[in-house]
Structure formats: C-alpha cells, structure tokens
Amino acid sequence: MSVEDVARAAQVAQVVCDADDEVLFHEERVQRGAHPFAYPALRALRNRAAVRVPGLGVVVSDAATARAVLLDTEGFSKVGPGSPAELWTPVLGPSVLLNMEGAEHAALRRTLAPLFTPSSVRALTATRSARLDGLAEQLLAGERVDLVPVVGEMAGSLICHLVGLGDTGDAVREQLRRAQEIVGLVRLHRRGLTRSQVARARTVLDELSEPARAAYRDGGTDTVPGRMRELGLSEREAMGAVGAFVLTGTETVQSFVPRLVAIAHDAGVLDRLLASATTDRWRGRVVEEALRTAVPTPVMLRSVTAEREVAGVRVRPGDRVVVVTISCCRGAGPFDPSVDSAPAVRQLWFGAGPHFCLGMPLAMAQIDSVLAALAPVAAAGRSVHVVRRTVARRVLIPAYRELVVTA
C-alpha cells in the first residue's frame, strides 16, 4: 500500500465520528485542523494492527502492539533513522532525553526525576497558580474568558522556572511564542527540519537560553540546568535540555487542558467534574478518558535496531515505526468514564517503558490547578459553558486556538 493509496482511502472513507457524538465531532475538527492530510490518512489504517507504507514506515494502530514496541528497547530506539533524534538532534544536541537511549538516558532521568515527583510539582504548581487567580470571579461576574492563553501563561511560567528562565515577562513570553513556532514547523510526514528551519530554531533557542546559562553556572538542584551541571554535562548539553523542555513542556498542557474542559462540557459532565473532590475516583477517570480521547501526542516514532516482527510485518534495522497513538487509544471506544481503560491502553498517551513521560506528574498537577480554579463556579451553583471555539491550524500538537467559556 502506497502513500497515494492511503490518501485515496482517506478521502473516500466515512468521517470517523458520528455527527451526533459531540465529543468526537469536535475532537475530529481539532485533529483535522492540525493535520488536514496526515491525520485522515493515518486514521484510514486504524483497522490494521500494523502495515508497511512505502515512504512513511510501518504504521502501528493497535494498542497492544504499540506497547510491545515501546517496551522493546533492544529492538526499537529513539535514536536512528526515522527516530525523534533525526528531528531534534540538529536543533538541540545529543543529550536531551528526547534523543537518548541506554545508560546515559537512565542516568539523566534519575538526575532530573526529583524535580518531577508528585510533591515537588504540587509545590511548584502552587507557587505559580497565581496565574489562575480571579478566573472563577471573572466568570461569576459575567465575563467571557478564553482558556487557551490562561493555561498557556500558567504552563509557560512553570517551565520557565524549571529551566532557569525566571518569571514570564513580556520578553520571555515573546520568546516562548517563537519557540512554539519551531514546534509548528514539524509535520507528521516529514523526518526532519530543513537547514534554514534548523538555523532559525537554533537562533531562537540561543536567545531564549541566556538566563538558563546563568542558572547552569550558578548550579543548585532546583533547576534543570543546575542538576545537569551536577551530573557532569556540559553547558551546551544543558542548554539543549532547556530547549527540549521549552519546546515540549508547554505545548501539551496548553493543548490538553482546554480540550479537557471542552470534552467534559460536550459530554455533559463538566459541572460534576468541577464539583468533585481531587481524590474522587470518577474525577480521575474523566481526566484519563479525556486524555485517551484527545491523545495530546498523536504519533510516536521509533527506529528499528534489530530484526523483529510487528503484528505480522517483518522489520529490519533502519526501518521506521510510526505508532499512531490516536488510533491505538481511540480504538478502545468512545469517551466513557464509567468503564476502566484496558491494560494495553492505560496511559499509553504518555508512552511506555523507560521513555514514559518524565513530566507526567507536572502535567497532572497543572490539570488539577485549572479544575480547582474553576471549581468555585460549580460551588456557586453555576455552570461553565463553552460559547466559542476555534481550532488551531497546521500545528504539531492538535489544539484549540481559542476556547471561550462563560458561567
């Protein structure tokens, strides 16, 4: 099956979602807005566990198969042809978790892990939650609020603190915006950035990293650069890690949290979600189901390093595996917090094995912070309604460009 065959199949395929299903109707719009050609082409393959597509790689759409690939670090790697390293190493350098394997990767994770324990991220999020102060009061006063910049401001502030950039003043916010533009240059069907795009990305990140260089030279354990200096990494390697956190640390949360609110609203469970306690198991299931439905990381890439068989498809070193996380997770059915996720699907949107998302606790803490900021609306007996939404076009991480709510 060629890329052209896949595209033709996608064009004639019936739209995946039922128009009566509000959750999937709007989520389809978000996904197609981000990737109008690649997304429907990949989704057209969703009923095949694995299939080789010339020019693209072996496409995996089954959760159990995907998990097996992600756990098999001897057969599949984030370093090599078609891997994330091919995309990010020219921009960030070789030591940024995104493009590492083996003992060096494990050592760097151990060094950075104390920054991302549940207690650490709760404390950090609490110090930055001032970005959300007044959100409920605005809504209860009858104002309309766009959640996208509100969440982006909070996420940006947290990441800036972690990587030693200080608070998010106007200059830093502008640099973060430019960094997000770099992420927007990436396309699902492309293996890397062009030479001019790499040069542009390096220029932006060099400018953005200047305060982080001071954090590296000062040392200490409360920032990413300081911990990397303790580990013995060079300043250049530490700045690469700073760039990686800046590029990936805000986009996922800024994408997902407004979509969580929209999904819960469209499913008719937002009022109950905002009124529920943080420890409520049902609340946790709503967030988990929204993550499974939205899948903030719709695709994961691996390079084959040893001969394997992937759901009946033989692969050899140098082959590329495209794990279509959105198909793997959506295959478990429609949004339904009353049903537990199958083991193969559980938290697959955060990855699996040694590359399971290091920042997951931070993302969950930020989700809780936004829900807590909106909770007074439910406590006052009012409902939060989505009154306007616009999808972001041609971005790497599917998202809303605006999601306006009112009480």
The rounded distance, in Å, linking the Cα atoms of 107 and 22 is 45
> Tell me, what amino acid is at 327?
S
Q: How many angstroms separate the first and last alpha carbons of the chain?
A: 50
d(CA 233, CA 227): 9
Residue 370 has pLDDT above 70, yes or no: yes
Could you tell me the pLDDT band of residue 20, with boundaries at 50, 70 and 90?
A: very low
Contact 386, 265 (CB under 8 A): yes
Hey, how many other C-beta atoms are within 10 angstroms of the C-beta on 312?
Answer: 10
Angle subtended at Cα 346 by Cα 313 and Cα 375, rounded to the nearest 5 degrees:
145
Q: How far apart are CA 156 and CA 254, in angstroms?
A: 9
Q: Which residue type occupies 241?
A: A
Above 60 in pLDDT, residue 153? yes
Q: How far is CA 126 from the centre of its chain?
A: 22
Of residues 13 and 265, the one with the higher pLDDT is: 265
Q: What's the pTM?
A: 0.87
Please tell me the number of Cα atoms within 13 Å of 154 on its side-chain side: 30
**Structural domain of residue 248, as residue ranges?**
3-406
Structural domains counted in the chain: 1
Angle at 291 between CA 340 and CA 365, to 5 degrees: 105
Q: What is the mean pLDDT of residues 291-317?
A: 95
Kindly report which listed range (140-149, 159-168, 307-316) carries the lowest average pLDDT score.
159-168
Whole-number Å distance between alpha carbons of 147 and 377:
15
The string of pLDDT tens digits covering residues 176-202 is 777 777 776 666 666 677 888 888 888
Angle between helices 251-266 and 281-294 (to 10 degrees): 110
Q: Output the pLDDT for position 2.
A: 57
CATH number at residue 349: 1.10.630.10
In terms of phi and psi (left: phi > 0; alpha: psi -120 to 50; beta: otherwise), the region of 312 is left
Instruction: Read off the DSSP letter of residue 405.
Output: E
Q: Mean pLDDT across the stretch 362-380?
A: 94
Contact 323, 299 (CB under 8 A): yes
Q: How far lies 6's CA from each of 35, 41, 352, in Å?
A: 15, 6, 28
- Return the pLDDT at 11: 47
The model's confidence at residue 301, banded by pLDDT at 50, 70 and 90, is very high
CA atoms within 13 A on the CB side of 288: 19
Average pLDDT, the chain: 86
b/e map of 205-229 (b: 16 or more CB within 10 Å)? beebbeebbebbeeeeeebbbbbbb
The neighbour count for residue 19, using CB atoms within 10 Å, is 9
- pLDDT mean over 365-390: 96
Structure tokens at 336: 């339904």
